[in-house]
Amino acid sequence: MGIMDWFKQGVGNGPATVTPAASAPQSGDRGTEVGGLDFKSAVDAHMKWKRRLEAYINGTSAEDLKVDVVCRDDQCPLGKWIYNRGSSEFGYSETFFDMKAHHTNFHRCAGEVLRNAQAGDKEKALHLLHHGDYLRASERVKTLLAKLFVLVLDGKTAIDAHVKWKERLHDYVAGKGGEVLDAQAVTRDDLCALGIWINGDGVRDFGGSPAFENLRRIHTRFHASAGHVVAVTAVGQQEAALAMLEEGDYAQASDEVTAALVELFARHN
């Protein structure tokens, strides 16, 4: 199972079904660290809370858990990331905001489980652990972590694929790299990695939204401008083509595609 499939299991409308022990991502998949957080490790650590609390309740744990620590949402690795780099990089995201709120609620519920265990009410502690607010909060944290990872990584990948166009065009115009570009093919907006995404997963996930339609329109204009750069190069006007990469329609459209991608993922993240 690929890493994206592993995470996307937790992005449905119902409870997350991420089960690393049974279906861990295969080696060689894309990394799971984005914005200073390894999302897979974060999900794994979050899922271990249930086993840690259950072992404590059953008296098989050597951990010295304290209610006033467990109930805080800024002491675990995920919580520390949320209140530092997470907030600075993804504070604009509704998904991040929701995940932060549910993470806070999760630790409140975990603290309540531990409080009952330490009061000697094992039956109630186990009931709270396996039912009700604790379970719902735990599932929501897993789901929202997975959703945030998928949205942010897909957006980053799309931007990276687009940014590489300038390097490819520059090398072609300068006669470097050996890549042969055809103006008619470059003009098409459905052959590049971003275009394939727009016409596939993009339209599936965001089709109809104003931000997505804006991206599609600008992306089409970008490829028309890129095709013009290739056409100018083909008739021997390398200096003019190089200037087009830095200013004019191509440069403007390129910047607008990146801005439109950022806006799309900010609005739907």
Report domain extents, the chain: 3-150, 181-268
> 163 versus 254: which is more confidently predicted?
254
| Mean pLDDT in residue range 98-118 | 95
pLDDT on residue 238: 92
> 148 versus 106: which is more confidently predicted?
106
pTM above 0.85, yes or no: no
pLDDT on residue 31: 58
| Mean pLDDT in residue range 5-26 | 43
| Mean pLDDT in residue range 104-119 | 96
Burial classification of residue 16, based on how many CB atoms lie within 10 Å of its CB (0-12 exposed, 13-18 middle, 19 or more buried):
buried
The answer to whether 3-150 and 181-268 have equal CATH topology is yes
Beta strands 33-34 and 37-38, pairing class: antiparallel
pLDDT on residue 131: 84
Q: Is pLDDT of 20 > 60?
A: no
Q: What is the pLDDT of residues 225-235, one digit of tens each?
A: 999 999 999 99
Out of 47-56, 116-125, 141-150, 259-268, pick the least confident: 259-268
Q: Is pLDDT of 25 > 60?
A: no
CATH class, domain 181-268, is mainly alpha
Q: Is pLDDT of 18 > 70?
A: no
Q: Report the percentage of the chain scoring pLDDT > 90.
A: 46
| Mean pLDDT in residue range 247-263 | 86
Long-range contact list for 157-163, CB < 8 A, 24+ apart?
Answer: 158/193, 158/194, 158/197, 158/261, 159/258, 159/261, 159/262, 161/192, 161/193, 161/194, 161/197, 162/192, 162/194, 162/254, 162/257, 162/258, 162/261, 163/258
- The amino acid at residue 246 is E
Report the mean per-residue pLDDT for the chain: 84
Q: Please, where are the H alpha helices in 131-268?
A: 132-173, 183-187, 193-197, 203-206, 210-234, 238-246, 249-268
| Mean pLDDT in residue range 29-33 | 60
pLDDT on residue 230: 95
Q: Is pLDDT of 202 > 90?
A: no
Q: Is pLDDT of 191 > 80?
A: yes
> What CATH number does the domain located at 3-150 have?
1.20.120.30
* 92 contact partners, CB below 8 Å, separation of at least 6: 266, 269
Q: Which of 27-41, 54-68, 163-177 has the highest mean pLDDT?
A: 54-68
Out of 24-33, 45-54, 71-80, pick the least confident: 24-33
Largest CA distance in the chain: 84
